[in-house]
C-alpha cells in the first residue's frame, strides 16, 4: 500500500481507508503478509516437540508476535521453566568419580556456585587468564561458557549447567568421606584444590646457600579442609609440618587492603623428598598449565640439589681419606 500511495501522490492512510471503503480484501497483515494458517493441533504439536515460539514462527514464515497471539487464542498452556528451551544445549555430568572429585576440589577453592531457577550458575572472577582457560575446559563439554573482560581488569566467566551438577552447590566445611576413602579420588580432589588455591615456589638461596630451594603451599580460611589434606597425605608416606595460622582474623592485607574475616591457615610441604612424592601423586590430575610448568622447574631443582648433595658427600669422603 505504501507503493500505491507513492504512485498516486497521497498518504498511506488514505489508501488504507479507500481499500476499506471499496471493500477490497486485504492480502494479509497490513496488506504485507499472507494470513497465518496454523491450527490449534498443529501449533500444539510443534510446541510439544520442544520448539520455542520463535522457531515455530520461522517455520511458518510469520512474526513471533503472531504465533504468540494465536497461542493465547487457542488457550495453550506454556511449559514450566524446567522444560523451556535453552539457548545452549546443556548435557548431564558424566558421573565419573575422579572428575567429580577434581571439580569439587576446584569449586571449594575458586568457584562461586548458585541455583538460578532451572539452571546452576558457576562463576569465577580472576586476574589469571590461565584460570579462565582451565574453567572453560572443565565445563565446555556440558555447556557454553560465557567469558568477558570486566572494566576493573578482571577476567570473568559464567557457566550455566543443568541440575546434574547439584553436587557443587554445597561448599563443604570438610572433605567428604567418599573422596578420602580412595587414593585416586583423594589426589584428584587435592589437584583440583591445588589448581585453585595452591602454589609451587622456587626460593632464592640465602647468603650461605648454594642453590634455589622449592616448596608447595596452600593458604586458606578453610581450616578443616587443610587439616584433612595434612592428615590424609600421611597415609601415602608424605609428611609435612602441622598447618598453622599465618594471618589472624581481622588482619588487613597490605597487598589489597582487604580484611580477613577468619583466620588464614597455611599448609606447606618443604622437604624435597616429600615434595617430590607429593608432585608424583598430584601431577597426573593437575590441569592448570602454569602449575604444571612450575612443577617441572621444581623437579629439576630437586634433581640439581640431590646432585650437589651427592657431590658434597663424595668430596667430603675423599677429603677425610
Query: Is the fold of 97-168 the same as that of 177-315?
Result: yes
pLDDT at 94 over 80: yes
In terms of residues, how long is the chain? 321
pLDDT at 116 over 50: yes
SS3 assignment for 157-207: EEEEECHHHHHHCCCCCCCCHHHHCCHHHHHHHHHHHHHHHEEEEEECCCC
Counting residues of the chain whose pLDDT is more than 90, the rounded percentage is 55
Higher-pLDDT residue of 19 and 186 is 186
Higher-pLDDT residue of 132 and 313 is 132
Does the predicted model carry a pTM greater than 0.85? no
Q: At 318, is the pLDDT very low, low, confident or very high (cuts 50, 70, 90)?
A: very low
Q: At 211, is the pLDDT very low, low, confident or very high (cuts 50, 70, 90)?
A: confident
Question: Which residues are CB-neighbours of 201 under 8 A, at least 6 positions away?
Answer: 214, 215, 216, 217
Residue found by looking up cell 507503493 in the block: 3
The domain 177-315 having CATH identifier 3.10.28.10: the answer here is yes
The domain 97-168 having CATH identifier 3.60.21.10: the answer here is no
Where along the chain do its domains lie?
A: 2-83, 97-168, 177-315
Amino acid at each position: 500500500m505504501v507503493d500505491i500511495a507513492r504512485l498516486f501522490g497521497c498518504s498511506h492512510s488514505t489508501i488504507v481507508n479507500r481499500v476499506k471503503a471499496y471493500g477490497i480484501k486485504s492480502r494479509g497483515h497490513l496488506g504485507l503478509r499472507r494470513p497465518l494458517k496454523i491450527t490449534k493441533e498443529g501449533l500444539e504439536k510443534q510446541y510439544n516437540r520442544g520448539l520455542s515460539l520463535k522457531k515455530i514462527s520461522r517455520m511458518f514464515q510469520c512474526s513471533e508476535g503472531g504465533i504468540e497471539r494465536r497461542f493465547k487464542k487457542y488457550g495453550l498452556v506454556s511449559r514450566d521453566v524446567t522444560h523451556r528451551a535453552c539457548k545452549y544445549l546443556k548435557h548431564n555430568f558424566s558421573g565419573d568419580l575422579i572428575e567429580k572429585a577434581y571439580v569439587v576440589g576446584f569449586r571449594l577453592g575458586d568457584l562461586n556456585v548458585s541455583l538460578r531457577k532451572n539452571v546452576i550458575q558457576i562463576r569465577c572472577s580472576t586476574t589469571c587468564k590461565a584460570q579462565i582457560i582451565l574453567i572453560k575446559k572443565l565445563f565446555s563439554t556440558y555447556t557454553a561458557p560465557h567469558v568477558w573482560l570486566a572494566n576493573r581488569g578482571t577476567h570473568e566467566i559464567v557457566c550455566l549447567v543443568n541440575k546434574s551438577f547439584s553436587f557443587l552447590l554445597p561448599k563443604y566445611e570438610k572433605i567428604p568421606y567418599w573422596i578420602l576413602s580412595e587414593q585416586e579420588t583423594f589426589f584428584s580432589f587435592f589437584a583440583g584444590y591445588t589448581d585453585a588455591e595452591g602454589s609451587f615456589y622456587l626460593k632464592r638461596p640465602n647468603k650461605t646457600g648454594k642453590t634455589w630451594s622449592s616448596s608447595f603451599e596452600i593458604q586458606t580460611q578453610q581450616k578443616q579442609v587443610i587439616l584433612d589434606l595434612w592428615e590424609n597425605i600421611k597415609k601415602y608416606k608424605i609428611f609435612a609440618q602441622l598447618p598453622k595460622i599465618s594471618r589472624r582474623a581481622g588482619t588487613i592485607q597490605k597487598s589489597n587492603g582487604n580484611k580477613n574475616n577468619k583466620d588464614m591457615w597455611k599448609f606447606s610441604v618443604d622437604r624435597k623428598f616429600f615434595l617430590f612424592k607429593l608432585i608424583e601423586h598430584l601431577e597426573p590430575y593437575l590441569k592448570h598449565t602454569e602449575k604444571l610448568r612450575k612443577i617441572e622447574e621444581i623437579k629439576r631443582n630437586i634433581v640439581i640439589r640431590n646432585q650437589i648433595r651427592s657431590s658434597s658427600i663424595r668430596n667430603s669422603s675423599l677429603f677425610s681419606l
